[in-house]
Amino acid sequence: MTRKPSPSDATRVVASRDNVYAAWDDFVFDTSNGEAFQGLPVARSTDRGRTWSLTYADKIVSDPNSCSFTQYIGAQPLVDPANGTLYVASEKIVVDDPTCEGGSADFSEVIFKSTDGGKTFGPGVTISPVTSATPGGALDLGSGRLIRTIDFPVLALHNGKLWAAWNDGRSGRSHILLASSGNGGGTWSVAAVTSLRTWASTCSRPPCRRAEKEEPGE
């Protein structure tokens, strides 16, 4: 049985749609009790930014006797204007090193979903594993000259689907991966991978042609 929407439903949807959201990565150490945690905080404002309230999409309590940690970084919120659903995507970094002997980092793009205006969030869903585009996450342009290559996700809604894109190096080069979800972020598939050759094919200017010739293996 389905319930006929009431005027209060429409008001609630519109209010949620028009909220203002901000998300970021967080490291907290409480000096009063020694508690430490990392997480993905999401702030919301229902009055056009005058006042704010805070919720954590995820919170991981740190073990002071372990070198393992989890970090969210590069978070981006997106609101579906049709129903007010809030999506927050972020890169997730996980290091499993409980005995402090040295552990490798695993990277992934994850997304959280809220259907009540950012008050609560469902469990995180992995969009895809991530391979850093460059060793150490930076381009080395010479002595003392580094440019960071980030893997942060961006979100968009188009043609009834949720889309995510990010910089990835799994092919051995830095490319843009594009993933799509047709069920509100529940499951994902990689829809396309850009390459220099496909980019150059859309550009007729000489710099594009030169770039294509420089990478014949693409």
User: At 215, which amino acid appears?
Assistant: E
| Per-residue pLDDT tens digits for 39-48 | 999 999 999 9
CA neighbor of 168 nearest in space, from 211, 107, 113, 125? 107
Note the pLDDT of residue 195: 58
Eight-class DSSP state of 205: S
Q: What are the C-alpha distances in Å from 51 to residues 13, 54, 85, 86? A: 20, 10, 21, 19
- pLDDT, tens digit (0-9, with 9 covering 90-100), for 178-198: 999 999 999 999 866 665 554
Assess whether pLDDT exceeds 90 at residue 34.
Answer: no
Higher local confidence (pLDDT), 199 or 31: 31
Structure tokens, 84: 């007010």
**Nearest one of 131, 115, 118, 114 to 175, comparing CA atoms:** 131
DSSP bridge partners of 108: 92, 129
Over residues 104-136, the pLDDT tens digits come to 889 999 999 999 999 999 999 999 999 888 877
Nearest one of 97, 89, 177 to 132, comparing CA atoms? 177
**For residue 16, is pLDDT > 90?**
no
Average pLDDT of the residues of the chain? 82
Q: How many helices (H) and strands (E) does the chain have?
A: 3, 14
The predicted pLDDT at position 31 comes to 83
Please give the model's pTM, rounded to 2 decimal places: 0.79
Quick one: tokens of 108?
A: 């992934």
Quote the tokens at residue 181. 């979800």
Number of Cβ within 10 Å of residue 112's Cβ equals: 24
Q: Which residues make Cβ contacts (< 8 Å) with residue 150, sequence separation at least 6?
A: 74, 91, 137, 167
For range 37-60, the mean pLDDT: 94
Which residues face 181 on adjacent strands?
162
CA distance 185 to 200: 31
